Chains A and B, each alone.
Chain A
């Protein structure tokens, strides 16, 4: 099986002489990323900075990030998983024919050249964006890239990491893990954490209409989720904590305005490489923080009789 082989961004800054962006457009979506962490930085190991690094962009179209890359590989839409799987076969010297490669929109020669460069690198890194992880194949596309990176370690140092969007998704993921053992897609209805993406993940729960209430903190699913999910949010009592008026707050029954985290509320933000950063507010807000609102709701609920009259039971035969 594969795995997840990754590093903190400083390692990329210090060491990565071979950088792949796959299905992401950092030039436009992560504007500080190139200058702060990857391309432009000089280090003890890469004294000439950008000149010491090789940058490859793999995407379905030539985005602005292509200008920053040394090599641009245009993969046919929907063929990322195939391309990554071919690369996994080729690094192990398995045979893949020219015709088989052709369906990805690239040639065997180009891929062999790419692999040669990857194997010759001292420290390779692969970043992937939503162009990979949110298109057909989703988690398996990401798994393909992570597995390729893991397997590359038979030849040289290689790591991979997602280019995550939105504020502090990583933080939510990290905390859920230490408190429940799972990163997301968790149900606590039986009094203990259970995990099953697809069953308990928010979008699936909403699309199936499996919930009779929604409590939303610092997210705007009303802007991004499929219509059946949004319709269900409008149907059930939805409570939103958000500094702003959002698509979701407009369809909610209750919107509590909170202080914006990091700007007027302190705390910790986890960077996409899971490094915790202190959030030091620059402004004061008349509104309470999300944390305070949640704590006060919790204290009020605690005054009411416990709904859990009997100890719930674990689901048996988990193995």
Chain B
């Protein structure tokens, strides 16, 4: 048992905004009583629920491809030197698995959602997730370019498509559905793209990206999956793409949806020269439609490696930058591209992107619906989140940073007119309580009795980036894992997954189609349950139990 006294608590899930209260922990959960045990004096310190990352790329074929492509970054990065309690590893743009766990926990994040898993290599993703210590994990499976499902939609077999979707989620031992450039990646297999909601998808006559997003959102809602459709819209990164994004949002009225890394989808103009921010317009629409959540996908200046299932976009980026390019197409399912990239403040396009990420976070007025992310490692590495928190909390600092932008950025961004500063309560919402709710993880991002005792204790510090970068303590499951920058314990995290319902005869329906498309045996395809370490199956709505906290 353990008691934390005197800390100032920010717990948005329970409406606690900066109150001094004691917290009791027993058996890894918050408890209502304390009999005996260690007491930690947190007087004068700030306490928040452990961070939850709704959208990151930390495990699996694509980030591992990225690791292989960037030895030059590994060499210049911070190395984790092995000790009795800690494995060695490397930080940097694409950290190794052990380092990923240490780095996330080191800044107080305790749950991460790997947002892009091809089913075909899900076994690999889970092996990597098993090697990420401390944090709890979940993963989303890439289905929006799955040709077997698209074929069924093309044939009008929507019910069957839904069953197959459920089958795939369970086969991958995954937690939800990610849609990347719906239809566009399927077109990329022919060297094409599908940029707009009405675009043709190569190989199909009746369906469009619009069909896919609408039907997928509906199917996910019908299956009762805790996290809504997790959508990477078409036309990512292109000037003028705000029209596509708004059109997508209109398609999704009446359904739940999570818009991933919205920053990359909020541009006006029609070429790189006149690209401008349309964050204000997008935020206005978003504010008025409460069916949606989003994460920022903010950009910070510096080196990174871009990794996405959006193959055509990566080919364009390779042509623009002339840097290394990796591409991996996955049969029937998806693709993936890798290009190292440097965001420069002197580059007008990069400067606009930097501003757009912040504008979205500042102009979307409900912190329960917009979450902190950099689409790690695409916009910046996740270990730079404290810098973004500083930008959100200090308007003066923001203005200082804006002074480094090119002069001709005037009229292309609205950031200079925004004076909003985030409060600690709002920061706790966008980094923890909000993403936990969006993921449907009711026992996360919440300091209430009976919830998982994942929390972070910060020193009060005027230097916000330092405060959030160097927590005093981090607790995971009631255990002190970080103390004053040192890694104390490296417990294994849990892995969340769901088992949505599908008719048992779907196997026999799927088998011939599967054998036609894939080149491995049907029996070997689903990930075996025993491969998931510390698996926690979460309920879908419509399942019997009320609460999602099953064991």
Instruction: Write the chain A residue with the least CB distance to B84.
Output: A306
Contact check, A179 vs B97: say whether CB atoms are below 8 A apart: yes
* A123 on the B face (CB < 8 A): yes
With A181-B94, A274-B121, A277-B524 known to touch, is A10 a contact of B79 (CB < 8 Å)? no
Contact check, B67 vs A181: say whether CB atoms are below 8 A apart: yes
Q: For B319, what are the chain A residues with a Cβ–Cβ distance below 8 Å? A: 154
* B509 on the A face (CB < 8 A): no
Q: In the complex the two chains form, what is the Cα distance from A11 to B330 in whole Å?
A: 7
Q: For A45, what are the chain B residues with a Cβ–Cβ distance below 8 Å? A: 203
Q: For B520, what are the chain A residues with a Cβ–Cβ distance below 8 Å? A: 10, 275, 277
How many chain A residues touch the partner (CB < 8 A)? 59
* B548 on the A face (CB < 8 A): no
Q: In the complex the two chains form, what is the Cα distance from A281 to B80 in whole Å?
A: 37
Contact check, B127 vs A14: say whether CB atoms are below 8 A apart: no
Chain B stretch 489-528: residues in CB contact (< 8 A) with chain A:
516-520, 524, 528
Contact check, B123 vs A278: say whether CB atoms are below 8 A apart: yes
Contact check, B191 vs A153: say whether CB atoms are below 8 A apart: yes
* B215 on the A face (CB < 8 A): no
* B549 on the A face (CB < 8 A): no
Contact check, B330 vs A179: say whether CB atoms are below 8 A apart: no
Q: Which of B59, B517, B524 contacts A178 (CB 8 A)?
A: B59
* A1 on the B face (CB < 8 A): yes
Total cross-chain contacts (CB, 8 A):
176
Contact check, B124 vs A174: say whether CB atoms are below 8 A apart: yes
Q: For A5, what are the chain B residues with a Cβ–Cβ distance below 8 Å? A: 325-327
Instruction: Write the chain B residue with the least CB distance to A3.
Output: B325
Contact check, B90 vs A181: say whether CB atoms are below 8 A apart: yes
Instruction: Write the chain B residue with the least CB distance to A312.
Output: B81
* A64 on the B face (CB < 8 A): no
Chain B stretch 305-348: residues in CB contact (< 8 A) with chain A:
315, 318-319, 322-332, 338
Q: In the complex the two chains form, what is the Cα distance from A37 to B490 in whole Å?
A: 43
Q: For B124, what are the chain A residues with a Cβ–Cβ distance below 8 Å? A: 174, 268, 270, 274, 276
Contact check, A2 vs B324: say whether CB atoms are below 8 A apart: yes
Contact check, B131 vs A275: say whether CB atoms are below 8 A apart: no
Quote the shortest CB–CB distance from B309 to chain A (angstroms).
13
Q: In the complex the two chains form, what is the Cα distance from A36 to B520 in whole Å?
A: 10
Q: What 1/0 flags go to A170-199 for Cβ under 8 Å of B?
A: 000011011111110000101111110000
Contact check, A178 vs B64: say whether CB atoms are below 8 A apart: yes
Q: In the complex the two chains form, what is the Cα distance from A150 to B120 in whole Å?
A: 24
Contact check, B325 vs A2: say whether CB atoms are below 8 A apart: yes
Contact check, A192 vs B326: say whether CB atoms are below 8 A apart: no
Contact check, B68 vs A191: say whether CB atoms are below 8 A apart: no
* A159 on the B face (CB < 8 A): yes
* A122 on the B face (CB < 8 A): yes
Q: For A177, what are the chain B residues with a Cβ–Cβ distance below 8 Å? A: 64, 67-68
Q: Which of B70-78, B288-296, B383-391, B435-443 touches A?
A: B70-78
* A135 on the B face (CB < 8 A): no
Contact check, A1 vs B323: say whether CB atoms are below 8 A apart: yes
Q: For A274, what are the chain B residues with a Cβ–Cβ distance below 8 Å? A: 61, 121, 124, 328
Contact check, B89 vs A180: say whether CB atoms are below 8 A apart: yes
Contact check, A191 vs B88: say whether CB atoms are below 8 A apart: yes
* B98 on the A face (CB < 8 A): yes
Quote the shortest CB–CB distance from B150 to chain A (angstroms).
12
Contact check, B96 vs A181: say whether CB atoms are below 8 A apart: yes
Quote the shortest CB–CB distance from B141 to chain A (angstroms).
15
Quote the shortest CB–CB distance from A193 to chain B (angstroms).
6
* B14 on the A face (CB < 8 A): no
* A107 on the B face (CB < 8 A): no
Q: In the complex the two chains form, what is the Cα distance from A122 to B190 in whole Å?
A: 7
Instruction: Write the chain B residue with the least CB distance to A302.
Output: B84
With A2-B325, A43-B516, A182-B71 known to touch, is A192 a contact of B89 (CB < 8 Å)? yes
* A7 on the B face (CB < 8 A): yes
* A74 on the B face (CB < 8 A): no
By CB atoms of chain B within 10 A, which of A13, A122, A123, A278 has the most?
A278
Contact check, B90 vs A123: say whether CB atoms are below 8 A apart: no
Q: For A150, what are the chain B residues with a Cβ–Cβ distance below 8 Å? A: 318, 325, 327
Q: For A308, what are the chain B residues with a Cβ–Cβ distance below 8 Å? A: 82-83
Chain A residues within 8 Å of B, Cβ to Cβ: 1-11, 13-15, 36-37, 41, 43-45, 122-123, 150, 153-154, 156-157, 159, 174-175, 177-183, 188, 190-195, 268, 270, 274-278, 280, 306, 308, 311-312, 314, 318-319
In the A-B complex, list the 10 residue pairs whose CB atoms are closest, starting with the nearest.
A10-B331, A3-B325, A7-B329, A192-B79, A191-B81, A157-B191, A5-B327, A276-B123, A10-B519, A318-B75
Chain B residues within 8 Å of A, Cβ to Cβ: 59, 61, 64-65, 67-69, 71, 74-76, 79-84, 87-90, 92, 94-98, 120-121, 123-124, 127-128, 131, 188-191, 203, 315, 318-319, 322-332, 338, 516-520, 524, 528
Q: A43-B517, A153-B327 are in contact. List 7 more A-B contacts (CB 8 A).
A: A4-B65, A4-B326, A10-B331, A157-B190, A193-B79, A274-B328, A276-B123
